[in-house]
Amino acid sequence: MKMDRRHFLSGSSVLVSAGALGATAGTLADLAGARAAEIAPHKYRLVATEEAFATPDQVQTFRHMAPTEWNDPDVVMWRGFLSNKPLLDRLLDLEHERLSIMDQTGVDMHVLSLTAPGVQMLDADAGTAMAASANDMLAEVVKRHPARFAGLASFAPQDPNRAAKEIERAMGKLKLNGLIVNSHTNGEYLDDPKFYPIFEAAVSQNAAIYIHPRNLPQHADDILQGALNLDGAIWGFQVETGVHAMRLIVSGVFDRYPSLKIVLGHMGEALPYWLYRIDYMYNVYTSRRPELRKIKGKPSEYVKSNFLITTSGVNFHPTLKYCHEVLGADNIMFAIDYPYQESAEAAHFMQSAPLPPEDMEKMTHGNAERIFHITPPAAS
Ligand code: MN
């Protein structure tokens, strides 16, 4: 077997494996024993919006894929997860350690979603079935703990029509709170008109779609590996998910579905930082080639009107202050990225952000309640 750096790392180090999505061994230890001194005062109610779980079915699927010759970047990433028992235990747990960590760190609610790459590596039948069973399980857990959990439903873009049906079932009968998709599916992106039934269903159900990162398709991921392993959470995820968002914008998806809401983690996968340049160059390119212009507004206008971003994995006040300035307080939500990132640090970062209290109320919980149809606790 060809032994490249990534295979070496995934086989030899559980610490680096967890790092594929941003966690470290230290993170896992700190979470369980978060010291009182590190816990932020509970100034604002915290609804965390990108919090991962796994189902036993999903883990079993990757256990079958792991020993094969398939070296898709997500299979490689999952080999690491499978050898990292503390991480795997945390993904599989919903009602035990997770709740106690939430209690310890002052996190009121997790908006749960099936961890990457969700059901999107399976064939259409298996993916559709696994999405339905994961959604059933999620709905049960949310029903048992309505004050602590909300849930984003999975669907399998491999079969857009059945995905649309599952979206209707998950938002209707199961009363889940929104949708999760782990970016590309077999290298295809949702701007392809064949996926429009998914947007039709999302819009009709008033369901926001969280586009969560996954590893790039193999050919593109190869470019990012090299000596530094720039694939994964250090850079590859934000490149891949940012590209997905840009494709939706420039292809005209939001002129077709003006009420569609897309959520991006990681402070917007770098889009907010590039707004000026994107608009400027969009204008330059489409002036040269007017046939490329497919949208009514400037790209930045869609970022502001159709996207919300979350703070997952970016516990950094300068970035938050910048995003607050350019996108506004209505477009930002708190997220931890449990169990890949540390709850105590994220809670402390959010509670101590130097922004006006009325905006903090929105970003810590108000926007999440509005976008994900979460009933706020009764005023006491
Ligand atoms: Mn995540």
Rounded to the nearest whole angstrom, what is the distance from the C-alpha of residue 53 to the centroid of ligand 1?
Answer: 10
Q: Which of 141-155, 191-205, 208-222, 304-318 has the lowest mean pLDDT?
A: 208-222
Which pLDDT score, from 0 to 100, does residue 29 have?
44
pLDDT of 11 > 70? The answer is: no
Residues classed as catalytic: 337
Structure tokens, 17:
């494996």
Rounded to the nearest whole angstrom, what is the distance from the C-alpha of residue 59 to the centroid of ligand 1?
Answer: 17
* Pairing between β-strand 178-181 and β-strand 332-333 as defined by DSSP bridges: unpaired
Q: List, in order, residues 6 or more apart from 131 with CB less than 8 Å away.
A: 118, 119, 153, 154, 155, 156, 163, 166
Rounded to the nearest whole angstrom, what is the distance from the C-alpha of residue 3 to the centroid of ligand 1?
Answer: 28
Find which of 8-12, 74-78, 209-213 is predicted with most confidence, using mean pLDDT. Answer: 209-213
Q: What is the pLDDT of residues 45-90, one digit of tens each?
A: 999 999 999 999 999 999 999 999 998 899 999 999 999 999 999 9
What whole-number distance in Å separates Cα of residue 20 and Cα of residue 57?
21
Q: What is the pLDDT of residues 288-339, one digit of tens each?
A: 999 999 999 999 999 999 999 999 999 999 999 999 999 999 999 999 999 9
Considering only CA atoms, which of 250, 268, 281 is closest in space to residue 324?
268
Tell me the average pLDDT across 181-199.
Answer: 97
CATH topology classification for 41-371: TIM Barrel (3.20.20)
Write down the domain spans for the chain. 41-371
What whole-number distance in Å separates Cα of residue 297 and Cα of residue 252?
10
312, 266 contact by CB (below 8 A): yes
